[in-house]
Amino acid sequence: MLNKDHPRYESLLYRQKIVDAHKNGILADSGMIAHGRGETFDYLIGEKTTANSLNTIDIASCYFLTRKRPVLSVNGNTTALVAEDIAELSSLLDIPVEINLYYRTPERIRNIERVYKNLGVKELLGTDDDDFIDTPDLNGPRSPVSIDGISKADLVFIPLEDGDRAEKLAALKKDIVNVDLNPLSRTAVTSTVTIVDNIVRVMPLLIDAVRRNEDVDRKVLLEKIDSFSNRENLDNAISDILKRFE
Ligand code: PTJ
């Protein structure tokens, strides 16, 4: 039983979600390690959304609203922590969710599929009965992607991911929006937009930003995109961490 008075109640709550997802065959064994790495960086950024991240979330919403075929790529960790928000964003933007796992097994696919089906996701791709095509120059289980999903997408959302895929998607001229608490990771550096923040705080803010911007003139959204530099964003995230040591 979790004690609500515990000073680290929220952190314990999300740990419990991770543990439950592992027991339910959703999370990869390594997903626990990935979560721990995330917690460490979250501690360093002060476990809050910085002004810099808030701006980056706004930019991410501009990308989602101006691209023709965005896809939300999900793995075990994202599903464990924010499946409801993923379903909501998918419905709000009317875009597919595609399951793409590094540690892919038929059993995990079935378990994750059940989560999103229960949440009412209309277009769920990457399941075992989908049609796949390999991502050029990418080896391993993440390479096959849905022909109707990531393969044709012009924007791919790849939260909480290890570093083997972002540069291959970027080489295909796809825009990549990533959520990663580690501003130094390969994925963070390669992505078009990297939100350096905890996915549990990002998703509600991203949904709000999409709602706020959905009626804004496309030209204004594109101007905001033009004025954004991911390198500058990552430098700001790093200097926010450094300030915590002063
Ligand atoms: O479900 P699968 O089979 O696709 O496997 C998924 C994992 C996460 C195990 C796999 O992609 C992996 O090993 O990832 P890495 O290399 O550990 O990278 C995950 C990144 O996500 C790390 O940079 C973490 O800091 C970051 N991260 C972890 N938890 C969070 C996070 N970023 C934002 N919010 C979090 N809650």
| 42 CA to centre of ligand 1 in angstroms | 13
Q: Residues near 234 by Cβ (< 8 Å), separated by ≥ 6?
A: 183, 188, 189, 194, 196
Distance CA 14, CA 84 (A): 14
112 pLDDT band, cuts 50/70/90, is very high
> What share of the chain has pLDDT > 70, as a percent?
100
Instruction: Name all residues whose Cβ lies below 6 A of ligand 1.
Output: 28, 30-31, 34-35, 37-38, 41, 75-77, 81, 101-103, 160-162, 179-182, 185, 198-199
Closest residue by Cα to atom 32, ligand 1, is 180
Q: Is the pLDDT of residue 54 over 90?
A: yes
Query: Which CATH superfamily is 51-243 part of?
Result: Phosphopantoate/pantothenate synthetase (3.40.50.12640)
Q: How does pLDDT run across 163-213, given as a tens digit for each residue?
A: 789 999 999 999 999 999 999 999 999 999 999 999 999 999 999 999 999
Q: How does pLDDT run across 209-242, given as a tens digit for each residue?
A: 999 999 999 999 999 999 999 999 999 999 999 9
Q: Which two tokens stand for residue 170?
A: 């970027």
Mean confidence (pLDDT) of the chain? 96
Closest residue by Cα to atom 12, ligand 1, is 162
Which of 77, 98, 195 gets mutated to test ligand 1 (max ligand atoms within 8 A of its CB)? 77
Q: How does pLDDT run across 60-96, given as a tens digit for each residue?
A: 999 999 999 999 999 999 999 999 999 999 999 999 9
Closest residue by Cα to atom 7, ligand 1, is 31
Q: What's residue 154's pLDDT? A: 98
Closest residue by Cα to atom 13, ligand 1, is 162
Q: What's residue 10's pLDDT? A: 87
208-231 burial string, b = 16+ CB within 10 Å, else e? ebbeebeeeeeeebeebbeebebe
Q: What's residue 206's pLDDT? A: 98
Atom in ligand 1 nearest the alpha carbon of residue 33: 17
What is the SS3 assignment for 240? helix
The pTM of this model reads 0.97
Nearest one of 64, 42, 61 to 200, comparing CA atoms: 42
Q: Is the pLDDT of residue 2 over 80?
A: no
Which of 162, 164, 195, 206 gets mutated to test ligand 1 (max ligand atoms within 8 A of its CB)? 162
Q: What's residue 7's pLDDT? A: 78
Q: Is the pLDDT of residue 1 over 80?
A: no
Q: In what order do the strands lie in the sheet with 193-195?
A: 124-125, 97-99, 70-74, 155-157, 175-179, 193-195
DSSP 8-class letter at 135: P
Distance CA 169, CA 135 (A): 8
Atom in ligand 1 nearest the alpha carbon of residue 181: 32
